[in-house]
Amino acid sequence: MPPVIDWGLRDYAESLDAMRALVHARREGAVADSLVLVEHPPVVTVGVEGDDGGAARSGLPVVNVERGGHATYHGPGQLVGYPIVDLEPRNRDVRRFVHDVEELVVRAVEAFGVKGRHESGRRGVWVDGSRKIASIGIAVDHWVTFHGFALNVDPDLSAFDRFHPCGFDGSVMTSLARELGRPVTLAETRPAVVTAWEDLFGRPDRAPRPEQATAPSVSARSPA
Protein backbone atom coordinates (compact mmCIF):
# COMPACT_ATOMS: atom_id res chain seq x y z
CA MET A 1 0.00 0.00 0.00
CA PRO A 2 1.22 3.57 -0.63
CA PRO A 3 2.81 5.04 2.51
CA VAL A 4 1.15 7.46 4.90
CA ILE A 5 3.44 9.97 6.61
CA ASP A 6 2.10 11.65 9.75
CA TRP A 7 3.77 14.97 10.60
CA GLY A 8 1.50 15.75 13.53
CA LEU A 9 1.28 19.49 14.32
CA ARG A 10 3.81 21.28 12.11
CA ASP A 11 4.45 24.86 11.02
CA TYR A 12 3.10 25.56 7.54
CA ALA A 13 6.26 27.08 6.05
CA GLU A 14 8.36 24.22 7.39
CA SER A 15 5.85 21.71 6.00
CA LEU A 16 5.90 23.43 2.62
CA ASP A 17 9.67 23.02 2.34
CA ALA A 18 9.44 19.37 3.38
CA MET A 19 6.59 18.75 0.90
CA ARG A 20 8.60 20.23 -1.96
CA ALA A 21 11.53 18.01 -1.00
CA LEU A 22 9.23 14.99 -1.17
CA VAL A 23 8.06 16.05 -4.63
CA HIS A 24 11.68 16.17 -5.80
CA ALA A 25 12.33 12.75 -4.27
CA ARG A 26 9.24 11.32 -5.99
CA ARG A 27 10.35 12.72 -9.34
CA GLU A 28 13.71 11.03 -8.84
CA GLY A 29 12.06 7.73 -7.88
CA ALA A 30 13.57 7.85 -4.38
CA VAL A 31 10.17 7.52 -2.67
CA ALA A 32 6.84 5.93 -3.57
CA ASP A 33 3.49 7.69 -3.91
CA SER A 34 2.75 8.96 -0.40
CA LEU A 35 0.11 10.77 1.61
CA VAL A 36 1.30 13.31 4.17
CA LEU A 37 -1.14 14.02 7.00
CA VAL A 38 -0.53 17.15 9.05
CA GLU A 39 -2.18 19.73 11.29
CA HIS A 40 -1.03 23.35 11.06
CA PRO A 41 -1.03 26.28 13.47
CA PRO A 42 -3.39 29.04 12.25
CA VAL A 43 -2.45 30.36 8.80
CA VAL A 44 -4.15 31.60 5.62
CA THR A 45 -2.70 30.34 2.36
CA VAL A 46 -3.38 32.11 -0.94
CA GLY A 47 -3.29 30.16 -4.20
CA VAL A 48 -2.45 31.35 -7.71
CA GLU A 49 -5.91 32.90 -8.23
CA GLY A 50 -5.28 35.30 -5.35
CA ASP A 51 -7.94 36.78 -3.08
CA ASP A 52 -9.80 40.05 -2.54
CA GLY A 53 -7.34 41.36 0.05
CA GLY A 54 -9.22 39.74 2.92
CA ALA A 55 -6.35 37.40 3.76
CA ALA A 56 -4.06 40.31 4.62
CA ARG A 57 -6.81 41.89 6.75
CA SER A 58 -7.59 38.67 8.60
CA GLY A 59 -4.92 39.23 11.24
CA LEU A 60 -3.58 35.72 10.56
CA PRO A 61 -0.21 34.81 9.03
CA VAL A 62 -0.49 34.67 5.22
CA VAL A 63 1.56 32.47 2.84
CA ASN A 64 1.33 32.66 -0.94
CA VAL A 65 1.64 29.25 -2.58
CA GLU A 66 1.62 27.66 -6.03
CA ARG A 67 -1.52 25.57 -5.64
CA GLY A 68 -4.71 26.31 -7.54
CA GLY A 69 -7.47 28.43 -6.08
CA HIS A 70 -7.94 31.42 -3.83
CA ALA A 71 -7.40 31.82 -0.07
CA THR A 72 -8.16 29.21 2.57
CA TYR A 73 -7.52 28.70 6.26
CA HIS A 74 -5.52 26.00 8.03
CA GLY A 75 -5.55 25.58 11.77
CA PRO A 76 -5.84 23.18 14.71
CA GLY A 77 -8.70 20.73 14.37
CA GLN A 78 -8.28 20.50 10.60
CA LEU A 79 -6.72 17.44 8.99
CA VAL A 80 -4.63 18.43 5.98
CA GLY A 81 -3.56 15.83 3.43
CA TYR A 82 -0.82 16.22 0.84
CA PRO A 83 -0.87 13.39 -1.72
CA ILE A 84 2.53 13.16 -3.41
CA VAL A 85 1.56 11.11 -6.47
CA ASP A 86 3.27 10.45 -9.79
CA LEU A 87 0.64 10.89 -12.49
CA GLU A 88 2.76 9.31 -15.24
CA PRO A 89 1.29 5.80 -14.67
CA ARG A 90 -2.15 7.40 -14.18
CA ASN A 91 -2.41 8.79 -17.70
CA ARG A 92 -1.23 12.24 -16.56
CA ASP A 93 -4.88 12.81 -15.82
CA VAL A 94 -5.01 15.82 -13.49
CA ARG A 95 -8.79 16.13 -13.64
CA ARG A 96 -9.23 12.50 -12.58
CA PHE A 97 -6.69 12.96 -9.81
CA VAL A 98 -8.56 15.96 -8.37
CA HIS A 99 -11.83 14.01 -8.53
CA ASP A 100 -10.18 11.11 -6.68
CA VAL A 101 -8.86 13.43 -3.96
CA GLU A 102 -12.37 14.74 -3.48
CA GLU A 103 -13.66 11.17 -3.45
CA LEU A 104 -11.12 10.28 -0.75
CA VAL A 105 -12.69 12.91 1.50
CA VAL A 106 -16.24 11.90 0.52
CA ARG A 107 -15.50 8.33 1.62
CA ALA A 108 -13.76 9.43 4.81
CA VAL A 109 -16.68 11.54 6.05
CA GLU A 110 -19.16 8.87 4.96
CA ALA A 111 -17.54 6.60 7.57
CA PHE A 112 -19.05 9.02 10.14
CA GLY A 113 -22.48 9.03 8.52
CA VAL A 114 -21.94 12.42 6.86
CA LYS A 115 -22.93 12.50 3.19
CA GLY A 116 -20.38 14.63 1.38
CA ARG A 117 -20.48 15.05 -2.37
CA HIS A 118 -18.83 16.56 -5.42
CA GLU A 119 -20.46 19.73 -6.74
CA SER A 120 -20.03 20.60 -10.41
CA GLY A 121 -18.20 23.89 -10.83
CA ARG A 122 -17.40 24.16 -7.11
CA ARG A 123 -14.22 22.42 -6.06
CA GLY A 124 -14.04 20.73 -2.66
CA VAL A 125 -16.43 18.47 -0.77
CA TRP A 126 -19.88 19.77 0.13
CA VAL A 127 -22.71 18.65 2.42
CA ASP A 128 -26.24 19.17 1.06
CA GLY A 129 -24.75 21.31 -1.69
CA SER A 130 -24.50 24.35 0.61
CA ARG A 131 -21.96 23.58 3.36
CA LYS A 132 -18.30 23.05 2.53
CA ILE A 133 -16.53 20.50 4.70
CA ALA A 134 -13.24 20.26 2.80
CA SER A 135 -11.19 22.44 0.47
CA ILE A 136 -9.07 21.08 -2.38
CA GLY A 137 -6.11 22.79 -4.07
CA ILE A 138 -3.28 21.09 -5.92
CA ALA A 139 -0.20 21.81 -7.97
CA VAL A 140 1.72 19.54 -10.35
CA ASP A 141 5.48 19.54 -10.92
CA HIS A 142 6.67 17.32 -13.81
CA TRP A 143 3.53 15.20 -13.28
CA VAL A 144 4.10 14.81 -9.54
CA THR A 145 1.27 16.26 -7.43
CA PHE A 146 1.52 18.26 -4.24
CA HIS A 147 -0.65 20.35 -1.92
CA GLY A 148 -4.02 18.59 -1.53
CA PHE A 149 -7.05 18.70 0.79
CA ALA A 150 -8.03 20.30 4.08
CA LEU A 151 -10.77 18.45 5.95
CA ASN A 152 -12.52 20.41 8.70
CA VAL A 153 -12.73 17.94 11.56
CA ASP A 154 -13.31 20.25 14.54
CA PRO A 155 -11.54 23.59 13.89
CA ASP A 156 -12.54 27.06 15.00
CA LEU A 157 -14.84 27.83 12.07
CA SER A 158 -15.01 31.50 13.03
CA ALA A 159 -11.53 31.89 11.50
CA PHE A 160 -13.14 31.56 8.06
CA ASP A 161 -15.27 34.64 8.80
CA ARG A 162 -12.15 36.85 8.70
CA PHE A 163 -11.84 36.62 4.88
CA HIS A 164 -13.58 34.97 1.92
CA PRO A 165 -12.39 31.34 1.84
CA CYS A 166 -12.14 30.10 -1.74
CA GLY A 167 -14.12 33.19 -2.76
CA PHE A 168 -17.14 32.29 -0.60
CA ASP A 169 -18.62 33.82 2.54
CA GLY A 170 -17.11 32.16 5.61
CA SER A 171 -20.55 30.98 6.72
CA VAL A 172 -20.52 28.20 4.08
CA MET A 173 -17.81 26.31 5.96
CA THR A 174 -18.77 23.36 8.13
CA SER A 175 -16.98 20.55 9.92
CA LEU A 176 -17.46 16.95 10.98
CA ALA A 177 -18.08 18.15 14.52
CA ARG A 178 -20.76 20.61 13.43
CA GLU A 179 -22.50 18.04 11.23
CA LEU A 180 -22.44 15.37 13.94
CA GLY A 181 -23.25 17.71 16.82
CA ARG A 182 -20.36 16.42 18.94
CA PRO A 183 -16.60 16.88 19.30
CA VAL A 184 -14.49 14.88 16.82
CA THR A 185 -10.73 14.35 17.07
CA LEU A 186 -8.14 14.03 14.32
CA ALA A 187 -7.18 10.67 15.84
CA GLU A 188 -10.74 9.44 15.15
CA THR A 189 -10.63 10.74 11.60
CA ARG A 190 -7.22 9.55 10.39
CA PRO A 191 -8.15 5.84 10.00
CA ALA A 192 -11.06 6.67 7.68
CA VAL A 193 -8.83 8.95 5.59
CA VAL A 194 -6.09 6.31 5.39
CA THR A 195 -8.56 3.61 4.35
CA ALA A 196 -9.94 5.81 1.57
CA TRP A 197 -6.38 6.68 0.45
CA GLU A 198 -5.43 3.02 0.21
CA ASP A 199 -8.64 2.13 -1.65
CA LEU A 200 -8.26 4.92 -4.22
CA PHE A 201 -4.50 5.14 -4.63
CA GLY A 202 -3.34 1.61 -3.83
CA ARG A 203 -2.25 1.14 -7.42
CA PRO A 204 -2.38 3.07 -10.70
CA ASP A 205 -5.84 2.67 -12.19
CA ARG A 206 -4.95 3.19 -15.84
CA ALA A 207 -2.11 2.43 -18.21
CA PRO A 208 0.10 5.37 -19.24
CA ARG A 209 -0.41 7.12 -22.57
CA PRO A 210 3.06 8.13 -23.85
CA GLU A 211 1.61 10.38 -26.54
CA GLN A 212 0.38 12.93 -23.98
CA ALA A 213 1.95 16.36 -23.60
CA THR A 214 5.32 17.18 -22.06
CA ALA A 215 5.18 17.47 -18.29
CA PRO A 216 4.52 20.96 -16.91
CA SER A 217 7.10 22.49 -14.57
CA VAL A 218 4.45 23.65 -12.12
CA SER A 219 0.78 23.65 -13.01
CA ALA A 220 -1.92 24.53 -10.51
CA ARG A 221 -5.23 23.10 -11.63
CA SER A 222 -7.71 23.10 -8.78
CA PRO A 223 -9.42 25.87 -6.87
CA ALA A 224 -9.18 25.71 -3.09
To the query of whether residue 166 is one of the catalytic residues in this protein, the response is: yes
- Distances 218 to 53, 138, 143 between C-alpha atoms, Å: 25, 10, 9
Residue 72 · residue 166 · CB < 8 Å: yes
Catalytic residue among 108, 114, 166, 177: 166
Give the CB-side neighbour count of residue 103, counting CA atoms within 13 A: 12
Instruction: Report the catalytic residues.
Output: 166
